[in-house]
């Protein structure tokens, strides 16, 4: 296998300073941008300024990382394109209330597997979730695998990127939502709790679970009871269990 064939096949990207700048001017939706460490020519500076202005995540990386994506003349910059347009929870939430509905939100704390991410989005769509909130950094890329795993649900749900999940959780709490966290540390079994009304469910990453700072801000910690020797579920399965219980209670 040659190096060129190791390009990321399931994620659309563009490379080169001027192509990236033109894409920014054309209002293309970016997932993230990789920029070579130490690269500071005038065009790159202009690109960085525009990325900051538009709140598009970017990071400085070694040239070796860029070369693993493509061996073409990337000029020290590669931009991943997103298949969806991201929303802001501060815009989405008031619209839900204006419809006279109780908000039902899902917060994903650094879900890194694209297929898990897609499967969760699919279940969220099927259970009536109004919007999904994800952090800007540490979340799986939205690529063709995510789209396929979601069975197209990725196009039916507002996906809201948050620069700071802690602030987003506080905003939701102050807006009247109960914050529900799924964790093995929870004292209460999920189906014994009242999960109706405005609610936001937090699901944690595959390896580390929910960050302690988000657990501290949660109103209710619940667990899924387990039997046998395996002490945890795949995050997409666990999300399905909890989302459907909330769906059941909301539709009794």
Can you say whether residue 247 is alpha, beta or left, with left for phi > 0 and alpha for psi between -120 and 50 degrees?
alpha
Average pLDDT per 10 consecutive residues for the chain, totaling 252 residues: 40 86 86 89 90 87 92 91 87 96 96 89 95 87 76 86 93 97 89 95 88 94 86 89 97 89
pLDDT of residue 7: 42
Q: Where are the domains of the chain?
A: 3-81, 89-250
Stated length of the chain: 252
CA-to-CA distance for 188 and 88, rounded, in angstroms? 32
- Measured from the Cβ of residue 80, the count of other Cβ atoms closer than 10 Å reads 19
Report, at the CATH architecture level, how domain 89-250 is classified: 3-Layer(aba) Sandwich (3.40)
Beta bridge partners of 135: 162
CA-to-CA distance for 248 and 41, rounded, in angstroms? 56
CA-to-CA distance for 124 and 148, rounded, in angstroms? 15
Stretch (H or E) spanning 131: strand 131-135
- Contacts with 99 (C-beta within 8 Å, 6 or more apart), sequence order: none
pLDDT of residue 11: 58
CA-to-CA distance for 96 and 133, rounded, in angstroms? 15
For domain 3-81, the CATH superfamily is Ribosomal protein L30/S12 (3.30.1330.30)
3-state secondary structure of 57: coil
User: Within its chain, how far is the Cα of 13 from the centroid?
Assistant: 19
3-state secondary structure of 200: strand
């Amino acid at each position: 296998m040659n190096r060129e064939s190791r390009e990321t096949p399931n994620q659309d990207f563009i490379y080169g300073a001027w192509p990236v700048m033109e894409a920014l001017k054309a209002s293309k939706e970016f997932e993230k941008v990789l920029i070579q460490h130490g690269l500071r020519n005038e065009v790159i500076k202009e690109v960085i300024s525009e990325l900051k202005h538009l709140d598009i995540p970017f990071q400085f990386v070694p040239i070796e990382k860029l070369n693993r994506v493509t061996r073409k003349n990337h000029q020290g910059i590669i931009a991943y394109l997103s298949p969806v347009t991201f929303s802001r929870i501060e815009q989405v939430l008031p619209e839900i209330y204006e419809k006279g509905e109780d908000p039902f939100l899902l917060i994903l704390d650094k879900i890194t597997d694209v297929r898990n991410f897609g499967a969760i989005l699919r279940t969220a769509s099927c259970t009536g979730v109004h919007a999904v909130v994800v952090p800007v950094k540490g979340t799986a890329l939205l690529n063709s695998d995510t789209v396929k795993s979601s069975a197209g649900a990725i196009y039916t749900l507002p996906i809201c990127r948050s620069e700071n999940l802690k602030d987003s959780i506080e905003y939701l709490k102050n807006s009247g939502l109960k914050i529900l966290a799924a964790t093995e540390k929870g004292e209460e079994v999920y189906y014994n709790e009242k999960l109706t009304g405005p609610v936001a469910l937090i699901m944690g990453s595959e390896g580390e679970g929910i960050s302690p700072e988000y657990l501290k801000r949660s109103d209710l910690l619940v667990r899924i009871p387990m039997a046998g020797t395996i002490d945890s579920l795949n995050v997409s399965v666990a999300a399905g269990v909890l989302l459907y219980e909330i769906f059941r209670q909301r539709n009794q």
